[in-house]
Chains A and B, each alone.
Chain A
C-alpha cells in the first residue's frame, strides 16, 4: 500500500497540522517511503496471534477515593498565554 496526497491532506487535518504545498509534496513522498517500509509486516502471518497492548502483565492498579487539595490556581494558569477571570481563554466559539 502507499499513501496518496489526498490521504496526506486528510491525515494532516485529523492531526491539526498545516503544510505549504512544498512541504506537502515532501512529506507525502517521505511518508510514502516509510509506509512502504512498514508494510513488510504483512510478510508475517499473525492470524492466530494476540496483540500485546501492555508489555507488563499487571492489572487492577487503583488508588483510593481520598481528596487531596488541588493545585493553586496561580500555578495552573502559570503557563497560559491567554487568560481571564481565572479561566483559560480561546477564540470565541459559537455552539
Chain B
C-alpha cells in the first residue's frame, strides 16, 4: 500500500472592522432591514464612482504586518468581471497582480509539539457582494446592504499537510487578526469565511495531484472534518485506479460528506484589468512604520514576554494570551498584586471554570483587575481564608461588587480571635471524645478531623493555622 500525503491550501476572507464601506460612506453595521444601508455608489447606479476608504488600507497593512508580510510599496485596484445578481456593477473591485501584502507566514504548533511555518502568499483588499435569499418559491431576493463591505482575502501557500494543521492555521490566523483589531473574525456572523483546496500525492512526490476546492465550511472544525473526508475520498479513488476530477465540492455537514456541486457555470474568465476609476496606492516607508507602531503586541510575543517578565510557566502564558482580553486582565491585575503566579493560578482555575459554566465571553466579565488584586490581598493579610475567597470570587463574578463589600455583607471575615477560637476548640474537643482519644493514642490524622469540625462550626471562617495551634495546645493540657 502506498503512502499518500495531502497538500492543503486555505483561502480566508475576513470583513474589516471599519465603520464604513470600502468605496462609499454607508455603514458596515451588521443586520438592518434589507437595502437600508445602500447608496447610489454601492448600488452601482449609472454614473457613480468609487472612492477608497483610507482605513481599509491601514487595516489591511496592519494585518499584513501582523502576519509577517512584505508590504507592497505600489499596489492598485483591478476589476474582476462576472455576472451574478448579488454583484451590482457586474464586476468586483479587487486586487489582481499587485496586492497590498505578500510573502507572510503564520507559525503553528501541532499536537506532537512540532513547530511549523505556514506561508501566506498574499493579502489583498476587495469589496463584498450582496446577499441572495432563496426562500420564495417564485424567485430569489437580493439585499445589497453587504455590498461594498471591505474584505481582506488571505491566501495561504499549500503548505499544510494534515487537516489538523489546517485547523491550527485557522485558529492562529484568527487570533492574530483579533489581536490586530482589524476584524472580529466571527464565522457565525459571516465576518470570516473559509474555502479550502486539497489534493493528494504519493508521499515524497514533488508533483501536485488534482486540486479540489471545498466550499460551505461553516466552522474551523468543519474545515478539519471536510478535509479528513475529502483526503480519504481522493486516496480511495486513486487506489481504485480512477482519476480525481478537478471540481468544486460542497461539504454536507449533516451527512459528513463532500458532494459535487451542480455544474452551474463554466470556468470564469474574469477579464481582470486595472480599474480606471481608482488611482494607485503607494504605501511609503513612513506610513508603513506609523501603522506598525499602531499594532498591538501579538500573541506570540506577549506569551514570550509573560514568561520572561512574570515568570509564569509557558503553558499558563499560552492559555492566558490566547485571548487578548484575558491577557489584558492578567496584566492589569499584576500591576497591583506582586505574585503573578498566584494571579495566573486564579485565572486558569476559578476564572476559566466560571467562564465555561456561564458561557460568558471574557469581555463580559464584571470583575475588574484591581478587584481581583484586592481579593488576593485579603487572603494574604488573613482577612479571609483561601477557601472563603473562592466563594467571594464567585459572588464578584456574578455581581461585580468589591470583595471587601461582599466579605462585610456576608460576614465572611476570617475568625482569628484566639479567645473565640479557644472557646470553639474546647467545645469541639468536648463534642468529639472519640477523636480526641484517637489523637492521644497517636493517630495524628484525628487532628485534621477536629480542625475540620472547628471549620464547620465557624462556617469555614476560622483561621485554619490558628485553629490547629490552639487545638494542639488544648489537647496537650
So, do A and B actually touch in the complex, CB under 8 Å? yes
Decide if B132 touches A71 in the complex (CB within 8 Å). no
Can you list, as one digit per residue, whether each of A1-33 has a CB less than 8 Å from chain B (1) or not (0)?
A: 000000000000010100000000000000000
Task: Report which of B20, B33, B40, B132 forms a contact with A66, defined as CB distance below 8 A.
Answer: B20
> How far, in Å, is B334 (CB) from chain A's closest CB?
35
Whether a CB of chain B sits under 8 angstroms from the CB of A68 is: yes
A88 touches B142 (CB 8 A): yes
The answer to the question of B398 belonging to the interface, with a C-beta cut-off of 8 Å to chain A, is no
B308 within 8 A of A: no
Cβ-defined contact, B27 with A87, below 8 A = no
Q: Can you list, as one digit per residue, whether each of B273-285 has a CB less than 8 Å from chain A (1) or not (0)?
A: 0101011111000
Contact B38 A71 (CB under 8 A): yes
Which listed residue (A16, A62, A92) contacts B136, Cβ 8 A?
A92
CA–CA, A71 and B136, complex, Å: 26
Cβ–Cβ < 8 Å partners of A65 in chain B: 18-20, 53-55
B residues 379-422 near A (Cβ < 8 Å) are: none
A61 and B51 in contact, given A14-B269, A73-B36, A90-B142 (Cβ under 8 angstroms): yes
CA–CA, A6 and B156, complex, Å: 38
Identify the closest chain A residue to B36 (Cβ).
Answer: A73
**CB nearest neighbor in B for A51:** B274
B262 to chain A: closest residue by CB = A94
Closest Cβ neighbor of B90 among chain A residues = A16
Residue of A nearest to B85 (CB): A90
Q: How large is the interface on B (under 10, 10 to 19, 20 to 34, 35 or more residues)?
A: 35 or more
Question: Nearest Cβ in chain B — how far from A87, in angstroms?
Answer: 4
Task: Check A61/B52 contact, CB under 8 A, given A56-B279, A66-B19, A87-B143.
Answer: yes
Residue of A65, A67, A73, A92 with highest tally of chain B CB at under 10 A = A65
Q: Which residues of B contact A92 (CB under 8 A)?
A: 134, 136-140
Q: List B contacts of A58 (CB < 8 A).
A: 279
B281 neighbours in A (Cβ, 8 Å): 59-60
A93 closest partner in B (C-beta): B140
**Binding site of B, secondary structure by majority: helix, strand, loop or mixed?**
loop
Q: Which residues of B contact A34 (CB under 8 A)?
A: none
A36 at the interface (CB under 8 A from B): no
Q: Which of A16, A59, A66, A93 has the most CB of B within 10 A?
A: A93
Q: How far is the CA of A56 from the CA of B209 in the complex (A)?
A: 46
- Closest chain A residue to B275 by CB distance? A53
Chain A residue numbers with a CB within 8 Å of B203 are none
B134 touches A94 (CB 8 A): yes
Given the known inter-chain contacts A63-B54, A73-B35, please indicate yes or no for A54 contacting B276, CB distance below 8 A.
yes
B237 at the interface (CB under 8 A from A): no
Whether the Cβ atoms of A66 and B25 lie closer than 8 Å is yes
User: Contacts A84-B136, A89-B139, A90-B85 known; A77 to B55 CB distance under 8 Å?
Assistant: no
Verify B276–A87 contact, CB threshold 8 A. Answer: no
Interface residues on A, range: 20 to 34
Nearest B residue (CB) for A13: B266
Given A63-B53, A70-B27: A53 in contact with B276 (beta carbons within 8 A): yes
Determine whether B296 belongs to the interface, using a CB cutoff of 8 Å to chain A.
no
| B25 contact from A63, A73, A93, Cβ within 8 A | A63
Contact of A62 with B53 at beta-carbon distance under 8 Å, contacts A87-B133, A90-B140 already known:
yes
Q: What does the 1/0 interface line of B251-284 toward A look like (CB < 8 Å)?
A: 0000000000010000001010010101111100
Inter-chain contact B276/A64, CB cutoff 8 Å = no
Q: Does A76 contact B (CB under 8 A)?
A: yes
User: Which residue of chain A lies nearest to B42 when distances are taken between CB atoms in the complex?
Assistant: A70
* B25 lies within 8 A of A68 (CB): yes
Contact call B142/A87, Cβ cutoff below 8 A: yes
When distances are taken between beta carbons in the complex, the residues of chain A under 8 Å from B139 are 82, 84, 89-92
- Interface residue from A54, A76, A95 paired with B38 (Cβ < 8 Å): A76
Residue B34 is within 8 A (CB to CB) of chain A in the complex = yes
B26 is an interface residue with CB less than 8 A from chain A: yes
Interface residues of B in 104-159 (CB under 8 A from A): 132-134, 136-144
- Report the Cα distance A82→B271, complex, angstroms: 30
- The answer, yes or no, to whether B37 is at the interface (CB within 8 Å) is yes
Quote the shortest CB–CB distance from B201 to chain A (angstroms): 31
Query: By the criterion CB–CB under 8 Å, are A62 and B52 in contact?
Result: yes
Partner of B43, one of A56, A67, A76, A95: A76
CB of A43 closer than 8 Å to a CB of B = no
Any chain B CB within 8 A of the CB of A85? Answer: yes
With a cutoff of 8 Å between Cβ atoms, the chain B residues found around residue A76 in the complex are 35, 38, 43, 144
A60-B282, A65-B55, A66-B19 known; A93 and B37 CB under 8 Å?
no
Residue of B nearest to A10 (CB): B269
Interface set, chain B 23-71, CB cutoff 8 A to A: 25-27, 33-40, 43, 51-55, 57
Q: Which residues of B contact A93 (CB under 8 A)?
A: 85, 132, 134, 140
The 5 closest A-B pairs by CB, nearest first: A87-B141, A68-B25, A62-B54, A65-B55, A53-B274
12 A/B residue pairs, CB under 8 Å, sorted by A: A53-B274, A54-B274, A54-B276, A54-B280, A60-B281, A61-B279, A65-B55, A70-B39, A71-B38, A90-B139, A90-B142, A95-B132
Residues in A lying within 8 Å of B, measured CB to CB: 14, 16, 53-54, 56, 58-68, 70-71, 73, 76-77, 82, 84-95
